[in-house]
Amino acid sequence: MATLDRRTFVKGLGVAAGALLSRTAAAQETYRIGLVVPGGARLEVGERIAFGVRLGLDEANVMAGLFGKRLELLQEVADGAEAVLSVGRRLVRQERAIGLVGGADEASAEALRDAAQQGDALFLNVGASASRLRGSRCHRHAFHVEASLAMYVGAVQQWLLEQRKLTRWALVTSDSSLGRDIGQVATAFLARRGRAPLATEQVPGGTQDWNPLLKRLGGLGPDAVFVGLEESDLPIFLRGYRSAGLTFQLAGAGVDPSALSAGDPADLAGVWPVLWHHELQRFSARELNSRFRRRFGRPLEGRSWAAWAAVKLLGEAIVRTGSGDLAGLLRFLESAPPFDGHKGRPLTFRDWDHQLRQPMYLVTPRKPEPGREPWKGFEVVAEVPARGDLDAIGEPKGESRCRFDG
Amino acid sequence: MRRGVRARGVVGAALLLGVTLLAPAESPAQPYAYVSNERSNDVTVIDAATDRVVGTIPVGDRPRGIGVSPDGRTLYVALGEEDAIAQVDVAARKILAKIPAGSDPEAFAVSPDGSRLYVSNEDANTASVIDTRTGKVIATVPVGIEPEGVAVSPDGKLVYVTAETTHTVSVIDTASFKVVATILVGSRPREAAFTPDGSRAYVTAEIGAVVSVVDVKRHAIIGTLKIERPGAKPKGVVVRPDGKRAYVANGASNDVTVIDTAENRVVKYIPVGRRPWGLALTPDGRKLYVANGASDDVSVIDTVTEQVVATVRAGKGPWGVTISP
């Protein structure tokens, strides 16, 4: 456990609690929520989640305070599945947390899901998009605010097909868990529309020489190249893509686009899906972005948005059901209450795998500009689905391997 | 800092011009509908007898919430980008003053005696009470997060302020300026309207796509009506002067819901223009004016036949409507 990081995180909480007291003088019933975030090398991811949780807690407590209730946050830093499981168990069993928030990656999400399952609590996943968590490893106590990989990939694919009318694609994926997952959901998406990739290339991690693959792509002449590569491989691929002079529409998923800015800005290209963007304006997104920036001095992005939404959802569930009773909370969340995530549409959990339905946003790099902060390097080009059925992206019910009764 | 300077500038301009906040003016002879156009920064004036446009009043940056004084002489328009509420002489169709109104004012209500404006302050999570005679804020009341719609009970004793992020209605007692109750309604509440006898109120919820029916005396929800239209985002709501019908602007589903208030059930959906938002009834309740934000027009509905009888061109982005008494 990283005590220094933990102290940094907790520092801001005192301020949050103080600000809330004046608005929650009548608070009587207190409900505990456990937050488990990574530290160490993944400190930044942990901070993003923690900041989102704090804003969500502020807002949930204003609402809860109006009805004589209060949410209390118990925050822990833990790295590695074993440590996360241990902390999660303690939060639920000893500290009596009714819900756990976290899941910065697949392993920690699985651990928190197990802790919640064993301790009769809820788990809200705010950072892990792996298909398995919504499929063979799903559990009734787990709700996924973070979008599934199928939603990230499907959002880009739907845009390429329906908006850009690009149908002949080459898939380039890493030979890794993430790459294989992206390859499968991308191929399944095309199959649902009676299509197949023009070519599928799986590459080992750490590949330095992309020329042979890029030459093959050049020879194929696809409409688009869709990449599902590990974050560490992407900058080298993007450099090679530019050097080779390829101009096919580039798109991808599986990484936070702002991480791409670590490479040469001139190499940035493609269309990438995100859960949230700090420049969104409509449906009071401007106000939410503004509240976050005022509070933390940084832009609101996907993981922070998911964390904000998770705590707000829990708070609303407690207020609307009038208690923290697990059975009641489960019934409420499964009844598809319309959640306002400032995305302009009611967001609801799917009943077959507990994935939150929501529109995604596609971003593309801006023209490079010296000295610009990395997070300002991308702009929103589309919302997907722009209208209609939110299940148009993501894995449909008929293909789900999730069985809550199993 | 920028906002503060701008707000002071507004007051200063009013003083330099030597205008008084309540200039005497002739009351209009017949009802006029005033439509705020948020993208063309003006107000369209429609003669409610002929349904013809008889004037356009430039008012300022991003006009949205709009209301008229009980004597029909003064029009108030919230200017979101100017942090002010424009006070317009209806007879002269000229701006008398711009009252500082906090950050990004969107919605407000005029008290039945015309002495006060109740304004929601979205950024500050408060409602402000402004004395219309002096233009000064006389009270600030904490409400829920992202306050939006404001409605005053017919007797002037209660003010409802919806809050979009906490899904609540704060009930403010206008004698003490205290919140006396908080009511949990549908997801993302937008507006509220009282029945003429003040016994009930109807509250729209945009994301929940519902209308909550409130027992005003008990501060309790007595019914929830689902707007069963694809993509519906209920926003504006008004109750007919005879109290028998409530009308709701459904936003993205491009229609208006008609509610039978005796039975509290939806009886009809009337197709109108694109993205109906604000609503207003003529004093006799015979005609309903609907601001269609995406088609830049106003649908006029005959409330007896419940049909659209006219479509009137407005400015760009019609947002709200109010009608002089």
What is the value of pTM for the model shown? 0.90
Question: What residues of B are in contact with residue A320 (Cβ under 8 Å)?
Answer: 184
Q: B167 — contact with chain A (CB < 8 Å)?
A: yes
Amino acid occupying residue B75 = L
Which of A282, A340, A347 is most worth mutating to test chain B (most B CB atoms within 10 A of its CB)?
A: A340
Rounded-to-integer distance, Cα B51 and Cα B54, Å:
9
Determine the distance from the C-alpha atom of residue B213 to the mean position of all C-alpha atoms in its chain, rounded to a whole number. 18
pLDDT (0 to 100) of residue A391? 94
Nearest CB neighbour to B208, from listed A23, A338, A387: A338
What's the average model confidence in pLDDT over B238-258? 98
Q: Is A63 in contact with B122 (Cβ distance < 8 A)?
A: no
pLDDT (0 to 100) of residue A265? 80
What's the average model confidence in pLDDT over A251-273? 86
Strands lying side by side in the sheet with B168-173: B147-152, B158-163, B168-173, B178-184
Q: Answer whether residue B19 shows pLDDT above 80.
A: no
Q: Answer whether residue B110 shows pLDDT above 90.
A: yes
What's the average model confidence in pLDDT over B55-74? 96
Residues, chain A: 406
Q: Is B187 in contact with A337 (Cβ distance < 8 A)?
A: yes
What confidence tier does A372 reach under pLDDT thresholds 50, 70, 90? confident
pLDDT (0 to 100) of residue A373? 76
Torsion A188-A353-A136-A87 (CA) sign: positive
Percent of all residues in chain B with a pLDDT value above 70, rounded to a whole number: 91
CB-based contacts of A220: which residues, under 8 Å, 6+ apart?
Answer: A170, A198, A199
Nearest CB neighbour to A339, from listed B168, B182, B187: B187
What's the average model confidence in pLDDT over A166-188? 96
What confidence tier does B22 reach under pLDDT thresholds 50, 70, 90? very low
- Dump pLDDT digits (tens) for B51-62: 999 999 999 999
Average pLDDT score over chain B: 91
Q: Answer whether residue B178 shows pLDDT above 70.
A: yes
Supply B233's token pair. Answer: 């985002």
Q: Answer whether residue B24 shows pLDDT above 50.
A: no
pLDDT (0 to 100) of residue A13? 40
Report the gap between the CA of B183 and the closest CA in chain A (Å). 9
Quickly tell me which residue has 């007898």 as its tokens: B49
pLDDT (0 to 100) of residue B311? 98
pLDDT (0 to 100) of residue A289? 96
pLDDT (0 to 100) of residue B16? 32
Which of A20, A57, A62 is most worth mutating to test chain B (most B CB atoms within 10 A of its CB)?
A: A62
- DSSP sequence for A165-182: ----EEEEEESSHHHHHH
More confident residue, B273 or B4: B273
Chain A, nearest residue to B207 by Cα: A346
What's the average model confidence in pLDDT over A118-124? 96
Residue A24 near residue A61 (C-beta atoms within 8 A): yes
Q: Is B164 in contact with A319 (Cβ distance < 8 A)?
A: no
Rounded-to-integer distance, Cα A90 and Cα B226, Å:
43
Rounded-to-integer distance, Cα B229 and Cα B249, Å:
12
Chain A residues with CB within 8 Å of chain B CB: 23, 59, 62-63, 66-67, 284, 287, 290, 316, 319-320, 337-340, 345-346, 387
- Dump pLDDT digits (tens) for B207-234: 999 999 999 999 999 999 999 999 999 9
Q: Is B166 in contact with A62 (Cβ distance < 8 A)?
A: yes
What's the average model confidence in pLDDT over A308-321? 97
Report the gap between the CA of B17 and the closest CA in chain A (Å). 35
pLDDT (0 to 100) of residue A110? 97
- Dump pLDDT digits (tens) for B256-299: 999 999 999 999 999 999 999 999 999 999 999 999 999 999 99
pLDDT (0 to 100) of residue A405? 73
- Dump pLDDT digits (tens) for A138-147: 999 999 999 9
What's the average model confidence in pLDDT over B39-62? 97
Q: Which of B178, B74, B182 is nearest to A62 (CA)?
A: B182
Three-state secondary structure call for residue B160: strand
CB-based contacts of A165: which residues, under 8 Å, 6+ apart?
Answer: none
Nearest CB neighbour to A340, from listed B125, B187, B231: B187
Percent of all residues in chain A with a pLDDT value above 90, rounded to a whole number: 83
What's the average model confidence in pLDDT over B4-31? 40
What confidence tier does B104 reach under pLDDT thresholds 50, 70, 90? confident
pLDDT (0 to 100) of residue A368? 79
pLDDT (0 to 100) of residue B29? 55
pLDDT (0 to 100) of residue A261? 72
What's the average model confidence in pLDDT over A49-71? 96
Least confident of A191-195, B3-7, B63-67, B213-217: B3-7
Burial string for A20-38 (b: 16+ CB within 10 Å, else e) reads beebbeebeeebbbbbbbb
Percent of all residues in chain B with a pLDDT value above 90, rounded to a whole number: 87
Chain B, nearest residue to A316 by Cα: B166
Average pLDDT score over chain A: 91
What's the average model confidence in pLDDT over A12-38? 62
What's the average model confidence in pLDDT over A108-125? 97
